[in-house]
Structure 1
Amino acid sequence: MRYRTLIVAVALTAASLTSANPAGATTGETVAIGLRPGVSAAATVAALDADPAVRVLASDTNDQLGAVTVTVTGDAFRALAGDPGVDYVEPVPVARVDRTPNDPLQSQQWGNRVIGSPAAWDVTTGSADVTVAVVDTGVTAVSELAGRVLPGYDFVNDDADPTDDHGHGTMSASLIAAAGDDGAGLAGLCWTCRILPVKVLDAGGSGGHDDIAQGIVYAVDHGADVINLSLGGPASSQILSDAVTYATDRGVLVVASAGNDGVTTPSYPAAYPTAVAVAGSTETDTRQEWSNHGSDWVDVAAPGVNVAQGRDGGRYWFTGTSSAAPMVSGVAALGLSARPGTTAAQLRSAIETTAVPVGSWVADGRVDAAKTVSTLLAIDAPPPAVGWSSPAASTTPRRGKISVVAAATGATRVELLRAGRVVGVDTAAPWTFTFDSAGLNGSHTLTLRATGPAGDTRTANRTIVLDNTAPKISKVRVSRSGSTVTITPSVRDDSGIQQVKAVVTAGAKKVTLTASKSPWALKWKPGTRKATTPVTITVTDRAGNTTTHKIKIKP
């Protein structure tokens, strides 16, 4: 343990934020609409607003990007599905700076910044359902911990008053749970979690393994989720080892400081395999020179110089692995807050596997709060699955508006993409889209992208053949043989001709002639008709595109 008085002079300016929407105003979702060349943004917005199920609250055009953003109530995605002038529709995500609390000393708490606490606070700032036991010199309910210090026990004096008579335990607790964003003092890791004070060290900062072991068991039996042990020494004992095992066997994570002698000699209880051993790191992720180390027994590192609140209410620089361990315990508490029900094994794995590599002086690296939280959230949600229900895989060309149906499970959102651009979004089953293929020809790959609740994605591709070009009729040859007139159009289409049809208007009578294979000869018997006869020829390709051509047959 090392600490010294912290003297600060901070000017804090508080700014209030006023909503841009007046009281009672209706809010909506903001979406971006990509427009195809030549399409009017104003016309598209007007058409959207004309939909009785949609109300446009505001719009803003970006001519350079060929897009318009609109704020709407109602389902703009369905309203614009299949609109030939719309290239894509997508929600407008909101980007914001990572949450920074307004505590005056936060700017000096470089440890919070280094381990990614602001990004973790964007997800959770803690939970009153999470309890961290500080097994130490006791804890005094100073201002940063007010209302969140539970009744505990003093194993040094054998009474129910675990008030801190040294200062070390209170500083450890404040790193874990000092109230954040309250305009005063400092910000701990888990702003709303509770502290269980267990006094096992005396006023001089020393205590026997028997009292420490009893304190660990007490913490487990009184609901601790995490136990912080900012204490230790080179000697091991069976009673202390058994107490740490007692905790981990019952699903409690034990975090312990590695010691401050600058050596590789193991320190206990940190060196017990069931505990998470924590070394002290610098602002640049190097080892603090005084920190014990060794990748064979030290698991992770954490900032070893932090601002803490002492038992007298003052703020101090708290230095040592005794300061680093509470940073890890605080990260663990945030992880449990984000994902209730996390096991101790899952929590430890998340802390260790997401640690940032810092060198061979620790096994895993420097702890990362944001990555720990996101990894734990991902455990809750199995990855989504997505596949194609329709259209079926086929080489038959398609045209115009194409109905797409996805088969997805475990998804909160499914998108349809072409050429990397989102052309449709659905947020609930049945996952349906209308893809407007106007102007597209040849083979194109469409992608369905499903996003799960943890943000992970899965995709499924389908290649379809598009033909939005009508067949061509270059000329029509008319020949006679006896009483039969043969009409033979010369036709061409890249995807193939499906049918050639001719409608012969002979006075009040119409005769329909069809041919389904080359040479597309249409035979008509005019009988005794002597008048000029109009004929409309319609050619249909395999995708359903048609071309008509009119001729007149003279007698």
Structure 2
Amino acid sequence: MVTSARSRSVFISLILILLLALLASCSGRLRLPRLIGKKETFASGRILIKFNAGSSSVSMAEMAKKFDLRPSSISCGAVHIHSVRPGTELEAAEVFTLDPAVDYAEPDFLIFAAADAGTPDDPFFDKQWALAKIEAESAWKVAAGSNVTIAVIDSGVDLDHPELAARVVEGYDFVNGDSQADDDYGHGTLVAGVAAAAANNDVGIAGLAWNARIMPVKVLDGQGQGVSSNLTCALYWAADRGADIINISIISFGPSFGMQSAINYAANEGALIFSAAGNLFEEGNPVTYPAAHDNVIAVAATDKDDAHAWFSSAGAFVDIAAPGVGIYSPFPPTHDEYRSVYGTSLATPHGAGLAALVLSAVPSLSSEEVEKIIQQSAVDLGEAGKDDKFGHGRIDASAAISLTLSSLPVQLLLPGVNAPVPTETPTAAPSPVSETPPTPTPGPTPTPGRQQS
């Protein structure tokens, strides 16, 4: 994560590289590609504009006439969404950006779920190799995420799923404009399950932070697609409602002033933000956002052998790595279906879940301190030190909790260290896999379900 101390000029240079440096010499128009791989980069017929205070109504009227500009709605952070003639999005954004009445203007970048789904399989805790790899069982002796809220900004969450229902708090659906952030795609439920699925409930799996609260915020539709303006609003919404940690297993292809402003707002409110690095390593490895924005922890994926996952995007923006191959999690609409999935979408909630464990162990820690603990306790992989594929390394829950506790005053009684009673007292805490793992009671065998693209 690069802090907000990075100058605004650096970020402006990124926007200019994307939106201005690629001007076509013959026409003067921006040549941001409409497609990267098979993904469109921005929404057709709409741009986002933030006007400066006291903007000239004359200049605004002139530009509105030129581009057939029509106010569509007001987004968050004083950013207006405007409709323009399809095909003029980039030229309009360029012209508006150069006008002194405008703080910035940009396309409404498209956002996408950052995971691919595999086939369903039996829901057993002992199939969760990732929890054993990062030594979650040791961390659970001290903390399991109590009193920590993780906002999952995604496609919503299956609100009635037995693994998640007891963990869910108030959410919001920015796609349909209501408070029922239910999941009609499946991606958000998978992500939430990795972060905080219930344990010791005789069902399915255990989330890494199985006592944390889940705040579902829906910005992706039933096809796993959305727009950056809704993601921007979701960040403000989650921060204003006290999210301690924000998980964004979503990618887009453009640096956005509006999104960066929302990220900065959430970070200033104390939220720690995790975002998927992307699954495009073998497809040109483009830089993805919001992972590459300031004040975001970008998460890459590893496999069972601690190798860089073949799909995981790499770059200087990667901060940490976490398991992201063959990850079991619940999948709607039935409550007995689990899927083995892969993607940085699944690596990201491992990072968010670990942050919840650290914060629940010592609630007084700042988000910066939690981030530092996660980085310093990570297992260094690949090249020595921080590198493009693993960042600071693969997360280690046991080491992170040990490092957390080692910084506390000696006289403080530490559960599991110098005090006999653990802070978390579940009915039957998950035991290490090598001993007696929590085993769900036999239920209906999951049947093949929808395949997620």
In the superposition, the TM-score normalised over structure 2's length comes to: 0.62
Q: How far apart, CA to CA, are the structure 2 residues paired with 1:375 and 1:217?
A: 31
Task: Give the distance between the partners of 2:391 and 2:344, measured in 1 at CA.
Answer: 16
Match of 2:253 in 1: 234
SS of the equivalent of 1:302 reads strand
Distance 1:124 1:157, change over 3 A: same
Q: Distance in 1 between matches of 2:363 and 2:197?
A: 21
- 2:158 maps to 140
Could you say what secondary structure the match of 2:399 adopts? helix
Letter in 2 for 1:126: G
Q: CA deviation at 1:380?
A: 2.9
1:150 aligned to 2:138? no
- Tell me if the contact between 2:219 and 2:226 (Cα under 8 Å) persists in the aligned partners: yes
TM-superposition CA deviations, 1:121-167 (whole Å, max 9, x none):
1212221x110000000111211012221121111111111111111
Asked if 1:322 is matched to 2:350, the reply is no
Matched with 2:370 is 347
**Is 1:6 matched with 2:138?**
no
In 2: Cα distance, 1:241 partner to 1:332 partner: 22
Matched, 1:367 2:379: no
Give, in whole Å, the separation in 1 of the partners of 2:390 and 2:203.
35
User: Aligned with 1:207: secondary structure?
Assistant: strand
Match of 1:272 in 2: 293
State the Cα distance separating 1:412 from its structure 2 match. Answer: 7.0
Contact 1:282/1:288 (8 A) holds in 2: yes
Residue in 1 that maps onto 2:357 = 334
The counterpart of 2:137, out of the listed 102, 107, 118, is: 118
Matched, 1:174 2:184: no
Measured in 2, the distance between the counterparts of 1:239 and 1:315 equals: 36
Percent of residue pairs bearing the same amino acid type: 38
Q: Normalized per residue, which structure has more strand? A: 1
Matched residue type, 1:379: S
What amino acid is aligned across from residue 353 of structure 1 in structure 2? Answer: Q
CA distance in 1 between partners of 2:269 and 2:149 (Å): 15
1:356 to 379, 383, 404: 379
Separation in 1, partners of 2:299, 2:197: 20
Give 1:302's match in structure 2, choosing from 317, 322, 334: 322
Query: Which string of whole-angstrom CA distances, capped at 9 and with x for unpartnered residues, describes residues 57-108 of structure 1?
Result: xxxxxxxxxxxxxxxxxxxxxxxxxxxxxxxxxxxxxxxxxxxxxxx61111
Of 104-113 and 220-229, deviating more is: 104-113
- Is residue 380 from structure 1 mapped to residue 401 from structure 2 by the alignment? no
Q: What's 2:314 paired with?
A: 293
The answer (yes or no) to whether the contact 2:298–2:318 under 8 Å persists in 1 is yes
| Rg larger for | 1
C-alpha distance after superposition, 1:323-350 (max 9, x if no partner): 1101111111111111112210011101
Residue of structure 2 in register with 1:249 after alignment: 268
Contact 1:233–1:259, Cα closer than 8 Å, also in 2? no
Tell me whether 1:201 sits opposite 2:229 in the alignment. no
Distance 1:160 1:226 in 2: 20
Alignment of 1:532-543 (within 5 A): none
Name which of 142, 145, 148 aligns with 1:130.
148
Contact 1:346–1:376, Cα closer than 8 Å, also in 2? no
Q: Distance in 1 between matches of 2:219 and 2:402?
A: 35
The Cα shift of 1:234 comes to 2.1
Gaps of 5+ in 2: 1-114, 420-453
The secondary structure found in structure 2 opposite 1:376 is helix
Bigger helix fraction: 2
Q: Amino acid of the residue matched to residue 331 of structure 1?
A: L
Q: CA deviation at 1:7?
A: 2.3
Once the two structures are superposed, residues 398-438 of structure 1 have per-residue CA deviations (whole angstroms, 9 ceiling, x without a partner) of xxxxxxxxxxxx4879xxxxxxxxxxxxxxxxxxxxxxxxx
Find the aligned partners of 2:394 and 2:400 in 1 and give their Cα distance: 11
The offset of 1:182, in angstroms, is 2.6
Deviates more, 1:356-365 or 1:207-216: 356-365
Aligned equivalents of 1:308, 1:163: Cα separation in 2: 17
Assess, with a 3 A threshold, how the Cα gap between structure 1 residues 125 and 412 changes in structure 2: closer, same or farther.
Answer: closer
> How far 1:203 sits from its partner (Å)?
1.0
Aligned-partner Cα distance in 2 for 1:219–1:320: 24
Residues 244 and 174 of structure 1: CA distance in aligned 2, closer, same or farther (over 3 Å): same
Shift, 1:452, TM fit: 8.1
State the Cα RMSD in Å.
Answer: 1.8
SS for the counterpart of 1:212 is: helix
Tell me, which stretches of 5 or more residues in structure 1 are unaligned?
9-103, 385-409, 414-450, 454-555
Aligned equivalents of 1:310, 1:372: Cα separation in 2: 29
- Aligned residue-pair number: 292
Describe the superposition over 1:7-51 as per-residue Cα deviations: whole angstroms up to 9, x where unpaired.
23xxxxxxxxxxxxxxxxxxxxxxxxxxxxxxxxxxxxxxxxxxx
C-alpha distance in 1 between matches for 2:413 and 2:175:
53
Please report how far the alpha carbon of residue 264 of structure 1 lies from its aligned counterpart in structure 2 after TM superposition. Answer: 4.2
Structure 2 CA distance for partners of 1:220 and 1:411, relative to 1, 3 Å: closer
Q: Could you list the per-position Cα deviations for residues 284-321 of structure 1 after superposition, in whole angstroms to 9, with x for gaps in the alignment?
A: 11111011012x11011100121010122210012100
Q: Secondary structure of the residue that 1:180 maps to in structure 2?
A: coil
